[in-house]
Amino acid sequence: MELPDGDFLDLDWLGPAAADCLVVVLHGLEGSSSSHYVRALAHNLAAFDIPSVVMHQRGCSGEPNRLARFYHGGETRDLRRVLEHCRRQRPDARLYAVGFSLGGNILLKWLGESPDSLLDAAAAVSVPFRLDLGAQRLEHGLSRLYQAHLVNGMKRSVDRKRRRMPHPVDRRALSRCRTFEEIDTCLTAPLHGFRDARDYYARSSCRRFLASIHTPTLIVHSLDDPFMTPAAVPGEEELSSAVTMELSPRGGHCGFVAGATPFQPRYWLDRRLPEFIRSRMGNDTGT
């Protein structure tokens, strides 16, 4: 999909070619249509003849994007363009969206800042409601393993881009980055018009937008999510009447496993999201 700035976004269309509904899926940081949670959602939606389309953030489809910039947790303009494109492609379809992790933050921010979201309903899973608290949490305990994996992935993305074009971010400064706050100060902020990481976190965190959401929205979150602390989770008074928050004491990050034994796990999120979409389809048609 061509963008007005000369860049592009890759969209993966999955499932049946139904004309009456479509689910737009937003992956998390350094994710793609190959991410396990995206594949699981597409598979379970397809079982109900519901098609989906994965919006790859810039540079996440396996091919570097054309510009020096990447994507970030507050970038909602690309989402708007994708939703407008989907409306043109499927003008009679009911349009839904599901966002995971950073993609969920983008989705909730978009819903809160847009009176007409173009969506009939939305769901967000394992959202970093406050990016600053998420960055701090990942500097402690076993969460540092997640941080190292994701930070190194972002560095590799810059290296791939350097093979195609000059890049404004200093290579040596980037190589020294070990935490999210460091890489957001060195990479994310200067590339996307923020003063520094703290300015990026303050302006892009979705929590302050939740009270302004008008679209029926489900948020699924686990209190033991290793990417954040319970302090990041908004209270009921911060949610608009259109938002339903389902909190689980356990579930990790985009996991949500149940079952009598570890050898027979049940990923209840795989049932909950299609269930929510199908319930909204019934409401939208008046049935």
Could you say which of 143, 157, 225, 248 is catalytic? 225
- Running DSSP on this structure, what letter comes out for residue 219? E
The three state secondary structure string of 27-87 is CCCCCCCCCHHHHHHHHHHHCCCCCEEEECCCCCCCCCCCCCCCCCCCCCHHHHHHHHHHH
Helix (H, G, I), strand (E, B) or coil at 15: coil
Task: Tell me, yes or no, if 36 is annotated catalytic.
Answer: no
Q: Which of 184, 172, 107, 100 is nearest to 138 (CA)?
A: 184
Q: Which helix (H) or strand (E) holds 218?
A: strand 217-222
Active site residue 61: no
> Does residue 221 have an active-site annotation?
no
Q: Which member of 33, 35, 101, 248 is catalytic? A: 101
Matching residue, tokens 């008074």: 237
Residue 56: both structure tokens together: 């790859």
Give dist(CA 105, CA 74) in Å, integer.
Answer: 7
Catalytic positions, written as ranges: 101, 225, 253
